Amino acid sequence: MEQQFYFNQRLQNAIDKIMEYPLTIVSAPFAFGKRIAIEEAIRKAKEQGVHVKWFQSQQGKNSKYIYDVIEEQKKKSDGKWLYIFDGCKGEEWIDEFQSMRWHKIWKEDIHCVCIMSSEIPMNRVYLSHWIHSISKQDLELKERDIVKLYQLHGIKITYRAAKLLYEYSGGWPGAIMLGIREYYYQNKLVPGIGIDELLEREVFKNYDAVEKEAITSLYGFKELTMEQIIMLTGVKQEERDKIVALIERNPFISYDIIHGKYVVEDVFFHYLYRRIKKSSWLVQRKVELRRAKWYESQGQFQESIMIYEQVKAYELICQYPYKLSELYACTNRTFLEQLWSLWKKIPYHIKCKYIRFFMLIASLFFLWKETRRGSLILDEVEEIAEQILGLSGDKKEEIQGELCLIRGSKYDRDIDRVEDTYQIALQFIKGSSMIYDEEFLLTEGIPCFLHKYYKKVGTLDSLILKFRTCINTFYELTQYSNAGSSYLVEAEVEFLRGNLKEAKKLAYHGIQEAQKYGQTCIKMMGQFLLLDIFVYLGCYKTAEEYLALLEEEKEKIGRSKFQLGAELSFIHAYIRIGKVAKIPDWIWHDHSASGQHSELVNMYLNYCYLQQLLVKKEEEQIIEIGEHLFEQAYEKQFLWVAIQMKLISVIAYHRVGNEKLARECLRNVLNLTSKDQIYMPIIQYYIELLPLFQKLIHEENYQMSVQQVMELYQKLENMKQQNKDEEKLNEARYGLTKRELEIALLGAKRYRNHEIAKRLYISENTVKYNMKHIFQKLNIKSRLELKKFFK
């Protein structure tokens, strides 16, 4: 049976209209069916007696072809002409054609097809009445088209099978035709060809060995940035254009202009997997090492170490200058098992050469409460340090101090033992610790040290003092600035006491110090504390703007640079602002059994889950599981989490009308919070719980506690009102909003736009937008006039 190519009605209409318009733009440069569609258009044109000429555009010769057409038309003026320009770049081509239309040689018998080398957006160009467009969507088949295509070839196919084939091929006519060929091959109707052979013949036939290796290096990734492609292919800067051209010519790799990424289609994605397995061991090793380097550069150490281990590049694993905070951020139970297996595999001489790496591994085991394994690794490290390396004097003391510091990490939540360990280590470590770094956080990235260390009622003041000491000693050990952390500890203390203005001021200082020294995680903790302060002050609009900015920062930094605590902080923020829909699904599974997270993280996850149920008004479910989660947190001495869980249960009982249990739970909450006077969690639900407080105030044992809660609520309400009054006063005085006034005052101090954006944690575009309105409202034209206005 003769092979015939099937076109759906949409594409058929697009082809038929080519001879109705002076210019047709094919804005689908990487679509698999493009060339076949143009060949079909040429065939139809020739059947009508049209002269056809196809130009393959080369770099630097784009405009030359247009003038070739003009010169050719001067000599050949008879009949209809169809000119096809393949590989046009940019919208300047459209301008060239527009100017050519007004040339004296232009006739209605001339038609042009312009095939773009990159996809261009549907903008003003397509509004013109003389331009026709064929898009990538026109070249794609749908499920019903696939069914019809198979029927034309006498093959019965169900819609379900068509859907699967469509999803696999992405609607590509080429891949569909391959399926038909395979069908004929299986039924011995005509000689067939497999997908690997087809791709080898159609895509790789003209590549040299270097180009084949470069394309194969992209295996395993469905989306690729240019930076990623350069690293994976290992090309030099001068060869970059060649590789880009190679990728752009590949019909199976398209460019997503919106996200700025190259997208590998499924057919080619699976093929590259199979191709790398057939490559020589030398090629596989080179490709895998470059992949490992890429993962390493992104902080995805679990993936990079796994690849290095597969190719037995043990020295490359050990020599990388890992930070404990970065390793800890990507550690889970699977990674720990991988590291344990690796420690046993690595040759002894490499262990002797890279002693720091194994101290880092031991630290991870201690932090994950794997004390036995951590001790075994440290014992061997100690043996290497003393016997093999023959250390003495200061160097030996340094190692002793590091070992003490690492072994001390097993105490984790025992702040007294942690404090003692730090003091002992400080006696030995004269310079800076080679294990701990400035980004390693005593709170695992969760923006509240109480979640981890507050274990006993009535110990808050002593806990704050000890935590301050630990922070200061820790930064003496790492030789980094502790200003950011110190400010944030003080900010949190003020926040707990309800002094929100002072807390806000200290949080700003902490964020600025952390930003100054590049302490990303500490800066992040301060930002989320500031977000909470905005919410408590009733500045919901500011909080939403601030959260949007944090999301932007997160995208720029990348998930690998953020600890798990950052994800949890975002979840907490979404709940506080009421954007539950933005919370990722993975968070709501039961993580406690998997052992993938620490106890602290699991407790925080449970707390976030109860918060989400409360926002969704699922009180029955809270009542069902709330008491169990509270008991679990209380028994394991996560007191701060336990208090907030119990408070959520109070709300749930109150909403369903069980006043007796609601009052009983509220008494428990007051018993846990009154000694240390930490009533801030209660304040956010104060209005809803007011009927309960009005009854409890008459009970002698709770009268003082309730009175303190009411006073704190009134104090915060006064702050909110004061904020509103200040905003109104400034608006009345200058006609500026609060945000505009902040920007105007900084602008008057001669700060530039990007500096104002950094200080206020907003985007530079927001500064420009507001500055325009400031100039209009104040009737000024320059920054100099702004300075004089506020002098």
782/784 Cα distance (integer angstroms): 5
How far, in Å, are 328, 413, 628 from residue 409 at the CA level? 13, 9, 30
Q: Are residues 565 and 682 both part of a single domain? A: no
- Looking at residue 670, its pLDDT comes to 92
Domain presence at residue 104: yes
Alpha helix stretches (DSSP H) within 102-158: 143-152
265/249 Cα distance (integer angstroms): 14
Q: Are residues 149 and 188 both part of a single domain? A: yes
Question: Low-confidence residues of the chain, pLDDT below 50?
Answer: 1-4, 59-60, 122, 124-127, 189-193, 560-561
Give, as one character, the DSSP assignment of residue 480: S
Q: Are residues 124 and 166 both part of a single domain? A: no
Q: 654 near 472, Cβ under 8 Å?
A: no
678/544 Cα distance (integer angstroms): 26
Residue 25, beta-bridge partner list: 114, 133
Domain presence at residue 674: yes
Which of 184, 171, 136, 189 is closest to 26 using CA atoms? 136
Q: Are residues 535 and 621 both part of a single domain? A: no
Give, as one character, the DSSP assignment of residue 443: T
401/382 Cα distance (integer angstroms): 12
- Give the residue carrying structure tokens 């690595």: 346
720/736 Cα distance (integer angstroms): 19
Domain presence at residue 332: no
Domain presence at residue 675: yes
Q: 689 near 656, Cβ under 8 Å?
A: no
Using CA atoms in the order 711, 712, 714, 720, what is the torsion angle rounded to 10 degrees? 160
Backbone angles phi, psi at 758, to 5 degrees: -65, -40
Residue 632 structural domain:
598-697
Say which residues have a Cβ less than 8 Å from residue 452's Cβ, sequence separation at least 6.
413, 442, 443, 444, 446, 600, 638
DSSP per residue, 190-241? S----HHHHHHHHTSTT--HHHHHHHHTTTT-SEE-HHHHHHHHT--GGGHH
Q: Where does a domain end: 521, 550, 582?
A: 582
Q: 290 near 230, Cβ under 8 Å?
A: no
504/401 Cα distance (integer angstroms): 38
Domain presence at residue 333: no
Q: Are residues 504 and 562 both part of a single domain? A: yes
Looking at the 3D structure of the chain, how many domains does it have? 5
- Looking at residue 316, its pLDDT comes to 92
Q: Are residues 519 and 621 both part of a single domain? A: no
Helix (H, G, I), strand (E, B) or coil at 155: coil
Q: Are residues 48 and 108 both part of a single domain? A: yes
The torsion region of residue 308 among left (phi > 0), alpha (psi -120 to 50) and beta comes to alpha
490/501 Cα distance (integer angstroms): 12
Domain presence at residue 430: no
- Looking at residue 251, its pLDDT comes to 66
Q: Are residues 538 and 496 both part of a single domain? A: yes
- Looking at residue 183, its pLDDT comes to 60
Q: Are residues 68 and 125 both part of a single domain? A: yes
- Looking at residue 339, its pLDDT comes to 92
CATH code of the domain in which 758 resides = 1.10.10.10
CATH code of the domain in which 100 resides = 3.40.50.300
Q: Are residues 624 and 569 both part of a single domain? A: no
Backbone angles phi, psi at 134, to 5 degrees: -115, 120
- Looking at residue 127, its pLDDT comes to 47
- Looking at residue 475, its pLDDT comes to 76
Domain presence at residue 305: no
Q: Are residues 98 and 34 both part of a single domain? A: yes
Q: 448 near 640, Cβ under 8 Å?
A: yes
- Looking at residue 2, its pLDDT comes to 35
What single-letter amino acid sits at 24?
Answer: T
Say which residues have a Cβ less than 8 Å from residue 321's Cβ, sequence separation at least 6.
none
Q: Where does a domain end: 640, 673, 697?
A: 697
Q: Are residues 20 and 68 both part of a single domain? A: yes
Domain presence at residue 602: yes
Which of 631, 629, 642 is closest to 681 using CA atoms? 642
Which of 783, 364, 328, 386 is closest to 560 using CA atoms? 328
- Looking at residue 707, its pLDDT comes to 92
Burial of 649 (0-12, 13-18, 19+ CB in 10 A): buried
Q: Where does a domain end: 582, 610, 628?
A: 582
pLDDT digits (tens, 9 = 90+) for 20-76: 787 777 776 555 556 666 777 787 888 888 888 877 655 445 556 666 776 676 666
671/675 Cα distance (integer angstroms): 8
3-state secondary structure 274-305: HHHHHCCHHHHHHHHHHHHHHHHHCCCHHHHH
